[in-house]
Amino acid sequence: MITKAAFADLNIQVHNSVVETFDYLKEHCTDFVLFLASGEYKSKYERATIIGSPFVIDDREDRIKDESRLNFFIDFMRQFYGFPSEMDQSSENEYLLHLELMIYSHIWESKPFLKRLYRIADLVSGKPYPWEVIVPDMGKHDFIRAEIRTRLQARSLSIWEVIKQGFHTSLRNAFAHSEYAINSGNRLIHLDNYKGATWEIDRITFDDWSRRFCFSALLSYHLFTEFHSRRTTLIQDFGTDTFPIVHYLTKTKFQMVNIIYDETRDSFHFERRRRP
């Protein structure tokens, strides 16, 4: 359970951390626009002569695959965390808890979500845009902690603390593998995957759970909405619709090209080169 006031405070904290991160990317990272253009390496186009290069922009495959889940997630948050005037705290029942556990697992198992966080961590670390990001099927704890959270912390970006407050491997593993039990009488969630390691947790109170869920859900939501907000204001922010990027033809050959943002269609495309 979380109060309306506490949720509002968390919402502000998470939103500010995401805005801070995007502001940093815009100011310090030359590949910021390529990040917004969703550059992606598609191995299936490696030998496709029509496409010309497996390094594509404005890739929407992940978004299309994830669209139904995202719509469900947004509707869920509006319904149960909209806090109409007569409510001053969130609802608390086992049905709702099971839904939250499922959503939590989906957030921290979502490859599009983790790929976006990883790309942010790469860019703020001063690295070029990573066209290909491979999220491991196993060992996501090390991927999230070392490859994402620690590198964001190194740049003193507050989003790292949001990730810390939201993600915990014990929770993700227990919920993903149905190794948990809800004790409504004592308001506890018991984790059956507890083995006694110092970093593990064997139980979590309903109130502590609500905070971790809200940190995770709000991070997922604000990262998604801020990304698309920055796209739609791109021309206004930079005073142009045309941006130079380093475009790879193969994994070893690249060239400088321009990409153009179409505000009407909210889409990017390569600038057509004029024939001599």
Q: How far is CA 132 from CA 71, 123, 150, 229, 269, in A?
A: 26, 13, 20, 24, 19
pLDDT at 52 over 80: no
The pTM of this model reads 0.93
56 has which bridge partners?
A: 40
| Residue 89 Ramachandran class (φ > 0 left, ψ -120 to 50 alpha, else beta) | beta
Q: Which two tokens stand for residue 276?
A: 């001599």
pLDDT of residue 148: 97
Between 196 and 147, the more confident residue is 147
Average pLDDT in the chain: 91
